[in-house]
Amino acid sequence: MARVGVFLLFLSFLELIHRTSGVNIVSSSSDVEVNEFETATLRCDYILEKDTKARLEWKMIKGKHISFVYFDGALVDKYKDRATMSGSSIVLRRVTRADTATYRCEVTATKDTRIFAEVSFKLIVLVPPAIPTCKVPSSAMSGSEVKLVCEETEGSPPSEYTWYKDNRVLLETPAKDSTANNVSYVVNRKTGILMFNPVRKSNSGSYFCEAHNKVGRSQRCSVKFMQIKRRSTTSNGANRTNTPAATEDFKHTKSFVI
């Protein structure tokens, strides 16, 4: 029984060797965060089994767009003036928010048991938020749907948003706010949209929005006042008060006598 256990352990050891043989990247795949205009290092260290020379490529991925950073033994023109190679790693100087992307290191060793390995990094260039733009209607009719919008596009990572009414925070779940006198609104912290459906007279007040991420100071837009007006019942024909027909006849008769 003991021999069987030793044999199984030996097979597991051989399987481990087989899985790790060939080209192998030893750098961890993790996010790299750096402040804007500072230096970012993307590490890609690898070991080979047999091959003495491997083919190294670096690519930048933004959405569906893929472009080369390092190809055929050299940095492409776009990066020659602000990047250097440190072995198989890349050092980017004075990064900007445009550099925020996924970077992939690819190593090919044709003589190894496993000929290909890759590792990806998410480079996040940290930028504080700018002053957001707030769209608040100056007036609206009660009972209607009203949308307030807050947005800014400079922050990285993307900003989240907090809305205030009369200097009080509007919670994402207003029912938990014991002071809320209207639970018909929804706040989306990701998109910056504050939606009233329906809006009520009690929603009249002063509004502003604050944009924040984990970089720098939060920024807020200027205060804007929104007035909610009661819907007039006289505009509805069903509620309009008509003059009695008898009175109209009396006026006509009096006019005729004169």
At 124-137, the pLDDT tens digits run 999 999 999 999 99
Element (H, E) at 10: helix 2-20
Number of domains in the chain: 2
Under the banding of pLDDT at 50, 70 and 90, the label for residue 2 is low
The verdict on residue 38 lying in a domain is: yes
Of the candidate ranges 74-88, 128-142, 238-252, the one whose mean pLDDT is the lowest:
238-252
pLDDT at 55 over 70: yes
Q: Determine what percent of the chain is predicted with pLDDT higher than 90.
A: 68
The verdict on residue 184 lying in a domain is: yes
Same domain membership, residue 105 and residue 140:
no
Under the banding of pLDDT at 50, 70 and 90, the label for residue 67 is very high
Residue 160 DSSP symbol? E
Hey, how many other C-beta atoms are within 10 angstroms of the C-beta on 115? 16
Same domain membership, residue 140 and residue 121:
no
Same domain membership, residue 122 and residue 43:
yes
**pLDDT, position 233:** 61
Of the candidate ranges 40-44, 92-96, 249-253, the one whose mean pLDDT is the lowest:
249-253
Instruction: Using the structure block, give the residue that is written with the tokens 């390995």.
Output: 117
Same domain membership, residue 175 and residue 115:
no
CB 101 within 8 A of CB 61: yes
Q: In sequence order, what are the beta bridge partners of 145?
A: none
Same domain membership, residue 144 and residue 119:
no
**pLDDT, position 184:** 82
Q: What contacts 231, CB < 8 A, 6 or more positions away? A: 141, 142, 143
Same domain membership, residue 161 and residue 183:
yes
Q: What is the pLDDT of the chain when averaged over all its residues?
A: 83
Same domain membership, residue 157 and residue 95:
no
Under the banding of pLDDT at 50, 70 and 90, the label for residue 238 is very low
Same domain membership, residue 152 and residue 186:
yes
Same domain membership, residue 140 and residue 84:
no
The bridge status of strand 168-169 relative to strand 160-165 is antiparallel
Q: Pick from 104, 126, 148: which residue ends a domain?
A: 126
**pLDDT, position 153:** 94
Q: Which domain holds residue 46?
A: 22-126
Same domain membership, residue 48 and residue 120:
yes
Same domain membership, residue 103 and residue 139:
no
The verdict on residue 2 lying in a domain is: no
Q: Pick from 126, 152, 172: which residue ends a domain?
A: 126
Domain holding 59: CATH number?
Answer: 2.60.40.10
Same domain membership, residue 92 and residue 54:
yes
**pLDDT, position 247:** 39
